[in-house]
Amino acid sequence: MQFFYFLFLLYNVVMDNKFPKGFLWGVAVSSYQTEGNNFNSDWWEWEQKGKTKDKSGIACDYWNKYKEDHDLVQELGCNIFRLSLEWSRIEPEEGKFSEEAIKHYRDILQDLKNRNIKTQVTFWWWTSPIWFQDKYGFHKKSSISVFARYIEKSVKELGDLIDMFQVLNEPMVPLGQGYLTGLFPPGKKNPFYFWQALKNIAKAYVESYKIIHSIKPDAIVGMTHLYNWYDSGKSNILGKMIYGVSKWFQVIAFSRRIKNHQDFFGLNYYRLGKINLRHWKSEKINFFIEENENNIMGWIAYPEGIYEAIKEAYQDYKMPIFITENGFPFDIGLDDYPRVLFIKEHLRYVKKAIDEGANIIGYNCWSLLDNYEWLYGFAPRFGLVEIDYKTLERKPRKSFYEYKKIIQNNGL
């Protein structure tokens, strides 16, 4: 009897760490940050104007080395891979689609399919063709149909190889930076344009959602939302205000415009949103510590925040959630133990949310590779795999092997 009781306990301990059967384990990369040589992109032009710390150049050369990188995804044991399409490659001139680029994306997607890896494809990850930015821009209403045409063409050509569709990645980031701070293209500081752009890109999203479903009725379509956690002492008025404004900006402003047009909720979680009020920081910091020398972006890791974000999103939107990005810029060579801790701690909280009833269908580490981090250039290192930017050699880090174990075990 005691023996069976022991087995029962053991079963519980083992099962307790397991994620649901069929859980999707992934890693993510984005086209502009890894492919290299995206000459027709507005961000490329932005770099030439000296607006970024580094120029992306050949980046990781994923465009040519994708098979090598898919070997890594396969070695990890991922059953899904998140990547994106570069609009400026597919439509380098207005209305003229590049058969060559489309064929190349087909090869990339087919290569993943051959390895039995599901494809999660984002269609707009912050960059647009130069012609689009010159003539349109999302602040103009005419941008909607132009964007929809790109979606329609891409889905017709590539949709059969796509398992999960993400029309947009975190649109509020480039909208804020492109129309309020002026740090991203188109470099405007105009709240009216910001507002127009928000409305138009949301309409373009809804239009795209419909187009994708009309071409592929059973498609799973959504987008990703940045959901950092800003709960820094809701008890005082200022805290409540910051929490409310950040929630509105990150999630509500967009979500309310696309109601009933998401088949899942893509949630990107990174950190505790930093508010430059010293005393708030100290309350929430745990073992990762703020702004240490391994964290050149000055971020605050806060694993519990992923749990809070999931709980809130699940309660508000009541749909399956995919953790589409989670990672941290540790620059510490191959033995990246803090990243291992980071991943495990976050997954522990994801599991807690699942145990409490949230429907989480998958998780992506950001990122498979070190890559080009927008304004910051190449210095931040987010990869499970280190890139030597001189030789482009890929070197898996400790976190790569630890994540592999987690995937093998379907849990921690």
> Binding residues for ligand BGC, per CB under 6 A?
30, 33, 169-170, 226, 268, 325, 366, 373
Closer residue to ligand BGC (CB): 102 or 365: 365
- Residue whose structure tokens are 């999630």: 251
DSSP for 90-159, written as a single string: H-SBTTB--HHHHHHHHHHHHHHHHTT-EEEEEEESS--BHHHHHH--TTSTTHHHHHHHHHHHHHHHHG
What Å distances lie between residue 77 and 28, 40, 98, 143, CA to CA?
14, 34, 33, 40
Shortest Cβ distance from residue 373 to ligand BGC (Å)?
A: 5
**Cβ distance 308 to 229 under 8 Å?**
yes
What letter represents residue 338's amino acid?
P
Shortest Cβ distance from residue 409 to ligand BGC (Å)?
A: 27
Shortest Cβ distance from residue 170 to ligand BGC (Å)?
A: 5
Closer residue to ligand BGC (CB): 119 or 196: 119
Shortest Cβ distance from residue 7 to ligand BGC (Å)?
A: 44
Shortest Cβ distance from residue 21 to ligand BGC (Å)?
A: 29
End-to-end CA distance of the chain: 29
Half-sphere exposure of 222 (CA within 13 A, CB side): 21
Tell me the C-alpha distance between 77 and 394, whole Å: 17
State CA 412 to chain mean position distance: 22
Tell me the C-alpha distance between 222 and 261, whole Å: 7
Closer residue to ligand BGC (CB): 146 or 172: 172
Closer residue to ligand BGC (CB): 86 or 170: 170
**Cβ distance 210 to 155 under 8 Å?**
no
Shortest Cβ distance from residue 303 to ligand BGC (Å)?
A: 17
Closer residue to ligand BGC (CB): 30 or 262: 30
Tell me the C-alpha distance between 387 and 396, whole Å: 9
Shortest Cβ distance from residue 102 to ligand BGC (Å)?
A: 23
Q: Give the bridge partners for 224, in sequence order.
A: 169, 266
Shortest Cβ distance from residue 92 to ligand BGC (Å)?
A: 22
- Diameter over CA atoms, the chain: 77
Shortest Cβ distance from residue 377 to ligand BGC (Å)?
A: 12
Closer residue to ligand BGC (CB): 47 or 325: 325
Closer residue to ligand BGC (CB): 102 or 343: 343
Closer residue to ligand BGC (CB): 102 or 321: 321
**Cβ distance 100 to 107 under 8 Å?**
no
Closer residue to ligand BGC (CB): 162 or 168: 168
**Cβ distance 82 to 365 under 8 Å?**
no
Of 52, 58, 53, the C-alpha closest to 37 is: 58
Tell me the C-alpha distance between 88 and 11, whole Å: 52
